Amino acid sequence: MTELGKALRATSTAIPGLVIWDLPVHGDNRGWFKENWQREKMVAAGMPDFGPVQNNVSFNSSAGTTRGIHAEPWDKYISVATGRIFCAWVDLRDGPTFGTVVTAEVDPSRAVFVPQGVGNGFQTLEPNTAYTYLVNDHYSPDGIYTSLNPADTTIAIDWPIPLEKAELSAKDKAQGPLSEVVPIQPRKILVIGCGGQLGRALRAAYDGVSHVDYVDLPDFDLSSGAFATARRWREYDTIINAAAYTAVDTAETAEGRVAAWAANVTGVANLARVAAAHGLTVVHVSTDYVFDGTSARPYREDDPMAPLGVYGQTKAAGDQIVGTVGRHYILRTSWVIGEGRNFVRTMLSLAERGVDPSVVDDQVGRLTFTTELARAIRHLLETRAPYGTYNVTGSGPVTSWADVARRTFELAGHDPNRVTGVSTDEYFSTAPNPVSPRPLRGVLDLTKIESTGFVPAAADESLADYVRLESRAAVN
């Protein structure tokens, strides 16, 4: 009998990502009703927003019908419309849980999310059982899919109806044992812009991970018309776009405006089209420059954009484009510091050379180190957090650029009072034109990223670590 009146509930298993769901089933004298797949409720309860594209039904006329064990290159959400089944899953993915077995009985009051690479098999326990499944890629009759013999003694599945008395296809009977299965590798991640500050941090964050590819500009040009065929996109799961035009002031020139729009808008549009066509996840990095900096409170992800200059306008346009991709993460950040030329390194150089700088003190925000951005990207992808826009910066007190300069001097053993605070207008009064307007307040609210379990590092602690490493490198 189908159990009625359950609350919607998710139960994790020994196979990472394999989750058994209890479903509310409502019944009366006429029969029963359930919401078999309810995206909004289930995503809110922790279901990956996996984007199903195909719905299949397997009708099984007799008890003992046994199918599997098959591991296709897509996620699968299974349930039963009528009848009962015994399900068995074997993790066939490369990693420490390879070969792990989980079994469970499923009736209409249960459903199971099966991640890509996990072998799925079932046996019907009642006649006239209808087994249903949603998948997030289209089946191809020409595809080569990993399978495992359900009778393999290595996995030792205790089928309720012995397999010698069950109905199996000749193909399933002929499958090999676990010892012959080549562990399934994840679909690949492509990092675009691996030579930049964030790209280098992503290389470090994914060090030793074999399924990450790296490409750099200008050899890999997002704005090129050939981008759509630049890779075998079906081999990929995710594109991380760490490339952007970031010359804020040069973007205000005629030549810079064209270059900024080509990189930050045309290129992003090409990326979005490829991602939408192949069901890829896009990770895109944005900026506080999409806001005008007039908010008295930290900016939230859903605040309206109002960019002041060309750079901010192109980034805002890119955000809007990426937001149309079903599977996307936009990481909005500020005051980025990483390996390469940056503000902190400039201050360290000035301090060592005896130069007493004037630094703006009316622009406020928080530093973001590329190591934190890379960590946040990996966190969102691996936890399969809900898609959308996330603010990512260092945590802690809001500071001005002058405050950062003084703290950098202090951490490096120099007198912080050597730094003089000036207004933005004063600082740029003698600068050659053009100068892009800056948002005076670039403080971003971190509540949403924290709700995913990510704890942003304190910006001041990251700054101290960075200065320590830079000082050590200078000595060596």
Sheet holding 66-71, edge to edge: 101-106, 85-91, 118-124, 66-71, 146-147
Closest by CA to 112, choosing from 136, 94, 134, is 134
138 phi and psi angles, rounded to 5 deg: -90, 135
Q: Which amino acid is at 368?
A: T
Q: List 212's β-bridge partners, or say none.
A: 189
Instruction: Give CA–CA dist 198/111, Å, rounded.
Output: 40
Q: Which two tokens stand for residue 178?
A: 């676990």
Instruction: Give CA–CA dist 281/328, Å, rounded.
Output: 5
Q: Which two tokens stand for residue 190?
A: 């492509």
Active site residue 138: no
Name 122's Cβ contacts closer than 8 Å, sequence gap at least 6: 66, 67, 68, 78, 85, 86, 87, 88, 106, 131
The DSSP code sequence of 274-336 is HHHHHT-EEEEEEEGGGS-S--SSPBPTTSPP---SHHHHHHHHHHHHHTTSSSEEEEEE-SE
Instruction: Give CA–CA dist 188/192, Å, rounded.
Output: 13
Active-site option among 133, 214, 245, 387 = 133
Q: List 9's β-bridge partners, or say none.
A: 22
Question: How far are the Cα atoms of 13, 197, 430 from residue 367, in angstroms, in the given order?
Answer: 39, 14, 26
Instruction: Give CA–CA dist 133/135, Å, rounded.
Output: 7
The DSSP code sequence of 27-51 is EETTEEEE-S--HHHHHHTT-----
Active site residue 236: no
Half-sphere exposure of 131 (CA within 13 A, CB side): 27
Instruction: Give CA–CA dist 366/394, Å, rounded.
Output: 6
Cβ atoms within 10 Å of 233's Cβ, excluding its own: 18
Give the residue numbers annotated as catalytic, written as ranges.
Answer: 70, 133
